[in-house]
A and B are shown apart, each in its own frame.
Chain A
Amino acid sequence: MRMKTLLAGSVLMGLAASFVAPAIAEDSVYIQLPTYRTGPYAGSGIHIANGMSDYLAMINARDGGVNGVKIDFDECETGYDTQKGVECYEQAKAKNTLVFNPWSTGITLQVIPKSSVDKIPVLSMAYGLSAAADGNTFPWVFNPPDTYWDGLSAIIKYIGEQEGGMEGLKGKKIGYIFLDAGYGREPIPLLDNLAQKYGFEVLQYPVAGKEMQNQSSQWLSIRRDRPDYVVMWGWGAMNPTAIKEAVKNRFDMSKFIGVWWAGGDEDARAGGAGAKGYKSVSFNNVGADYPALQDIKKLVVDAGNSHTPADTIGENLYNRGVVNALYMVEAIRTAQEMTGKKVINAEDMRLGLENLKIDEARLEAIGLKGMIAPIEITCSNHSGHHPLFIQEWDGEKWTSATDWFSPLTEEVTPILMQASKDYATSNAPWPTRDDACPAN
């Protein structure tokens, strides 16, 4: 009797599985999230990873996925190590990821040549190779909402405004303290170019990765050189150490401006009361009052399905992780609409990214109105060079120091297009785009 029951049960289970399995396969898409919750850069990486994971989990919990298609996601720990990142890419490829988010300029530079061969879009949100904004040359790489060059030009524009106009930059000294890696070196060609154009002097202060917590030499040099402003391109443990050193050396914090990745809450908090006035350029607002973030709190964090401490929801880097996930979700939605397919593949995802448009109405519907500026990516412009703003640390939290303003797009674009051409030439034979973008 027991044997019969067992057999009958097994047959029924097999039958059920044969019906259920295809249904799961058809109703889900896979995205790998390369993250770094460990290592010297974890201080920045954890918040980003939490934001990304929580948003995707919330979309699954609240909406049942994107138009009913669940997002099956998992994390691959890179430790911000390029070699590990490339291994994650290979794993993601094997599991048919829709998109690859390297979360490291070093990893991005490694996977760019692979992406066009493997036909996997690379979404390097506001990092990576600036020249990749040229969709004609880099059809598989996306860097919205702004490139590093946009970020740098926005900072220089802001400094110019503080000096009474761009002509006020003439004769000024601008220090550039940066992580001595692909990430930190990326804006240097533009910085040199703008220095030549506006007549300011650039003083470089590289910080080696293994010396991130030992920056006294760099800050002594800054103290000796007395730059009028210091711009920082830091990440991970470099940021809080730099801010502490700036405070220690009594540098005027109102003249210390970081890129968006040097704008973590914990980065600034490390400087204590002395960090008040520190600034960073940004493309997202802080705060947890957005309806979508409240849904995350209710459906994901409070439900115990997250690594996120509830009090970090709404912090700068957390919200930025949410923005990255938002881009992916909206690109899936766009691709579904364009292809008519529910379950899309990586090539469809590229189409979705290339036609991504998130306007005010859509942001309101999503529940993130006001967190970011509307964005639009096109076939030829994979970044969009969107408006940015400067935020300021008030001693406890980030506040907006300016309205949204455009970077120096007109000045950056010709240099960026030239850099794109140079990249293709130096990596010849660089694959040409199959479908030419319509002329804008």
Chain B
Amino acid sequence: MDMLYNILIDPFVQMVDAPDFLIQVVWEGFVAGVLYALIALGFVLIYKASGVFNFAQGIMVVFAGLSLVGLHQKGVPAWLALILAIGIMAILAVCIEKFVMRPLVGQPDIILLMATIGMTYFLIGLGEVIFGGEPKQMITSELGLPTGSTAFEMGERGLVILQHIDIAAAVIALLMVGGLAVFFNRTRIGRALRAVADDHTAALSVGISLNQIWAIVWFAAGIVALATGIMWGARSDVSFALEIVALKALPVLILGGFTSIPGAIIGGLIIGIGEKVGEIYWGGLVGGGIESWLAYVIALVFLLFRPQGLFGEKIIERI
């Protein structure tokens, strides 16, 4: 009976008793969800354009963040370092298209997946050689991003603390999603990109350059990776451990669908808020630490009912 009370009643009593804390938990989940969504966006972009599950998206986040901080440590002013980091991601995109994607055109998906796994380890090694293995502090204030926090008092002891960098992360994520939505739907390149995603051969037959599109989409994923690296790096620091955190995007993708930009955002928020609320209010019942697997459970439950994800395209194959 106690067990049922602890599962079904007590968490909600806690929520009502301390609404400020509930708001804080939801906010923290929202911010984590935004960051998961940003990582998932990188996956979605590449999957949409080439059908490749880019295992290297996590290390691209780390590589982009390290490039930015590493350049600044070498004495490059922050904003110039940011521009150069964008340039590095552009060069990386061109190299990936030329040396990885192009030679593997027409190969089965699993080969392309293996290629991205190979790229992951190559980039880990390259990053460690160039920047060293030490974690680096994100140059948050140098980039003009807000630091500090604002606290709102609620009742006698209630307090909600909002970090300014978290607010900035949410705004930047929204801007990026909006920008990508416009890019995909309103520009010529965006339409070409969608055409490539639908059918490579058909796209080629109407004169769309597959190579150019792939380079553009990898570059876009690189920009998303850089934004993610800056935001996540500001919360902790930029280290190779971030590469593992990026795998949190997997349940987001399962939930939101591999081809949907809104799906990545909604999926990210559901996972982010769900895991925080689950950990805080129900985690203690099993000794805590459920956050690392709860996201996958949420995704699996969705998978049972909507295998294509919330916003994924339902594929009907007629025999």
Contacts and interface: CB of A to CB of B under 8 A. Distances in A.
B133 A37 contact: yes
A214 B248 contact: yes
B135 A43 contact: yes
A248 B149 contact: yes
B288 interface: yes
Given A213-B236, A220-B24, A220-B25, A43 B244 contact: no
A213 B239 contact: yes
Interface residues of B, number: 40
A39 B236 contact: no
Interface residues of A, number: 39
Given A237-B236, A241-B236, A241-B237, A220 B276 contact: yes
Contact of B241 (A213, A250, A266): A213
A40 B240 contact: yes
Given A38-B133, A210-B247, A223-B21, A240 B288 contact: no
Given A205-B288, A208-B292, A217-B275, A237 B132 contact: no
Contact of A210 (B132, B235, B245, B276): B245
Interface string A214-243: 101110110110000000000011001100
Given A220-B28, A221-B288, A236 B241 contact: yes
A90 B245 CA distance: 32
A217 B161 contact: no
Interface string B102-143: 000000000000000000000010001000111101000000
B239 A237 contact: yes
Given A40-B239, A213-B245, A250 B161 contact: yes
Nearest to B244: A210
Interface in A32-53: 36-40, 42-43, 45-46
A36 B134 CA distance: 10
Interface in B233-261: 235-237, 239-242, 244-245, 247-248
Given A205-B288, A210-B245, A266-B134, A240 B236 contact: yes
B241 A206 contact: no
A242 B183 CA distance: 39
A211 B292 contact: yes
Interface string B270-288: 0000011001100110011
Given A213-B236, A244-B236, A237 B292 contact: no
Contacts of A37: 128, 132-133
A211 B161 CA distance: 22
A91 interface: no
A211 B288 contact: no
Contact of B279 (A36, A204, A217): A217
A244 B275 CA distance: 21
B6 interface: no
B289 interface: yes
Interface in A250-276: 250, 266, 269-270
A204 B287 contact: yes
Nearest to A219: B28
Contacts of A270: 135, 137, 236-237
B32 interface: yes
B232 interface: yes
Contacts of B236: 213-214, 237, 240-241, 244, 270
B100 interface: no
Interface string B20-49: 010011001001100000000000000000
A271 B275 CA distance: 25
24 contacts: A37-B133, A38-B128, A40-B239, A40-B241, A42-B135, A43-B133, A43-B135, A45-B133, A204-B288, A213-B239, A214-B32, A214-B245, A216-B31, A216-B32, A217-B275, A217-B276, A220-B21, A220-B25, A220-B276, A221-B280, A221-B288, A224-B280, A240-B135, A270-B137
Interface of A: 36-40, 42-43, 45-46, 180, 204-214, 216-218, 220-221, 223-224, 236-237, 240-241, 244, 248-250, 266, 269-270
Report the 9 A-B pairs with minimum CB-CB distance, sorted nearest first: A42-B133, A40-B241, A237-B241, A213-B236, A241-B236, A217-B279, A43-B135, A206-B289, A210-B244
Interface of B: 18, 21, 24-25, 28, 31-32, 124, 128, 132-135, 137, 149, 161, 163, 232, 235-237, 239-242, 244-245, 247-248, 275-276, 279-280, 283-284, 287-289, 291-292
